[in-house]
Amino acid sequence: MQRIEENKLEMFESVKAVLNKNKTAVDTLPALVEAQTEFADLIADIIKTDKEYGTATVGKVAVKNSVENELIDVLLPLKGALASLARKTKNTELALLVKFTKTDLQRLGDTDLKNKVSTILEIVEANKTTLANYNVNDAEINGLKEKAAAFNNATANNKTGFTGKVGARVSLTELFDIADEVLKVDLDNLMLRMKKNYPDFYIEYQAARVTKDLGGKRNNDEDETPPPTDPPTPPVQ
């Protein structure tokens, strides 16, 4: 949720609290009761959707990071054997290819890390006989292949999580738009009908309609200002 939305939600909650507090007055106007119920439901949906938006990728990212660390841990010992082999055979090209640290690998993007692992696997397979002197065996090589496959799956699943997060973000925006409409078109205008008989309720409602930032500063955005005391359009005759 963006900061302006957090501020707006705080205002929504304040309005809801005022309506609940003045239930006796609200109940005298059935249309206001309906608008109050719809508004409260929208607030609940906003809070629920925001949680979905915030957690849509958390679990999948955690899994991906864990699998990535396991992949790197398996890769580094093989890199050590290749680095030693490169020095002994004076293979400068190989020496450059394996000149990286754990931190270097962690800084790589997903695609670059996959490419690095693929390159190392090709070199290991090509030098399997020579690497036997370093106790590099099929079990270790297959272990790297398995970790690489697991990493590929984890990154693919993470993209699915991102799609879910985008969907939640769109839903959140739509919910705020609907809540704004209910507030400005229904509640603000219906409250005008309460002004004469319930002046204290009306004043309290108007005070709740002011959006402030979470630090207590007034938000001066045009959409955040309190409603006028008169309806924006003349009543239907």
Residue 52 is predicted with a pLDDT of 75
Cα–Cα distance for residue pair 69/72, rounded to 1 Å: 5
Whether residue 4 contacts residue 219, with contact meaning beta carbons closer than 8 Å, is answered with: yes
Would you call 183 helix, strand, or coil by DSSP?
helix
pLDDT digits (tens, 9 = 90+) for 88-122: 999 999 999 999 999 999 989 899 999 999 999 99
- Under a CB-based contact definition with an 8 Å cutoff, are residues 104 and 87 in contact? no
The phi and psi torsions of 101 (rounded to 5 degrees) equal -110, 175
**φ, ψ (nearest 5 deg) of residue 8:** -65, -40
Residue 163: its pLDDT value, please? 47
Q: What's the start-to-end Cα distance of the chain, in Å? A: 41
Of 18-22, 25-29, 59-63, 189-193, the poorest mean pLDDT is in 59-63
User: With bands split at pLDDT 50, 70 and 90, how would you rate the model's confidence at 224?
Assistant: very low
Q: What is the pLDDT of residue 125?
A: 94
pLDDT tens for each residue of 66-89: 899 999 999 999 999 999 999 999
Q: How far apart are CA 127 and CA 123, in angstroms?
A: 6
